[in-house]
């Protein structure tokens, strides 16, 4: 086994050359984020439906939904802030 230290792999910048004309890496990342957020939205809607259908009378339901939405939107804003800067 070689004693040489591991070399960090380089980001696949060469893949950017494969992108269609007019599509930048920033736009691609932005769309990837939108897809993730779409999955998040579907999951959240389904979970909220279960909360409201089966625990509507519980005092935990609305705080739980509120905290989830607040934390999620904060994280989304954080994720998108970097992408917006890239796009500009």
Partner 1 sequence: MKEFELEPGEHVVLEVRKHWFLFLAELLPYAIMAVAPFALPGIFSYAPPLAPYAAFLDFSTPLARAALGVWLLVVWTGAWGAFTKYFLNAWVLTSQRIVNIKQHRFFSRSVSSLFLSRIQDVTTDVHGILSSLLGIGTIKAQTAAEDVQFVMAGIPRPEMMRDLILKYVPEDDSPPPAGV
State the nearest-atom distance from the C-beta of 85 to partner 1, in Å.
5
Least distance from partner 1 to the Cβ atom of residue 34, Å: 11
Q: How far apart are CA 60 and CA 27, in angstroms?
A: 39
- Taking CB atoms within 8 Å and a gap of at least 24, the contacts of 32-37 are 33/79, 33/80, 33/83, 37/76
Q: CB-wise, 15 or 50, nearer to partner 1?
A: 50
Which CB sits closer to partner 1, 10 or 22?
10
Positions in 48-67 near partner 1 (CB under 8 A): 50-51, 53-58, 60, 64
Instruction: Indicate if the alpha-carbon torsion angle 19, 23, 28, 29 is positive or negative.
Output: positive
Tell the residue number behind the tokens 């779409």, with chain if given: 38
Task: Residue 47: count other Cβ atoms within 10 Å of its Cβ.
Answer: 13
Subset of 69-88 contacting partner 1 (CB under 8 A):
71-72, 75-76, 78-83, 85-86
User: Binding string, 14-33, against partner 1, x = CB under 8 A?
Assistant: ---------------x---x
């Amino acid at each position: 086994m070689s004693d040489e230290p591991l070399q960090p792999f380089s980001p696949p910048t060469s893949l950017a050359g494969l992108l269609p004309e007019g599509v930048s890496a920033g736009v691609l990342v932005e769309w990837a984020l939108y897809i993730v957020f779409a999955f998040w939205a579907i999951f959240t809607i389904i979970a909220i439906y279960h909360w409201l259908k089966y625990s509507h009378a519980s005092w935990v339901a609305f705080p739980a939904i509120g905290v989830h939405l607040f934390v999620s939107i904060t994280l989304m804003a954080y994720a998108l802030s970097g992408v917006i800067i890239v796009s500009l």
